[in-house]
Amino acid sequence: MPKKRKHSSNFRGVWNEPTGYNVHHRLPKSRDGSNDPSNFSHVPIALHHAFNALFGSNPTAQEVAYVLSNVWIDPSYEIIVRLREQTV
């Protein structure tokens, strides 16, 4: 397992991520996402940069699906976005 380091930005030490990884907010903070661990993933830095280069810094799920469907995958297919069923 990669060595963990304290996040160096202004996230107030809410989490630690392995060296070579960034925290990716699944629902961007600019769209009312939180710093709750359920809202972020640890992703390799290069992949995080690639995601932001492809989709911008705070895309919606619909925007990501649109770009993937209309630029990157076989045109016979489309990616559909739907809300997950809520569990109680």
Asked whether residue 86 is domain-assigned, the answer is no
For the chain, the domain total comes to 1
C-alpha–C-alpha distance, residues 36 and 43, integer Å:
16
Q: pLDDT for 12-67, tens place per residue? A: 445 677 889 998 989 888 889 998 888 989 999 999 999 999 998 889 999 999 99
Q: What are the tokens at 87?
A: 């569990």
SS3 helix, strand, coil % of the chain, rounded to 5? 35, 20, 50
Asked whether residue 49 is domain-assigned, the answer is yes
Asked whether residue 24 is domain-assigned, the answer is yes
Asked whether residue 69 is domain-assigned, the answer is no
Range of the domain at 36: 4-56
Asked whether residue 20 is domain-assigned, the answer is yes
Asked whether residue 42 is domain-assigned, the answer is yes
C-alpha–C-alpha distance, residues 15 and 75, integer Å:
40
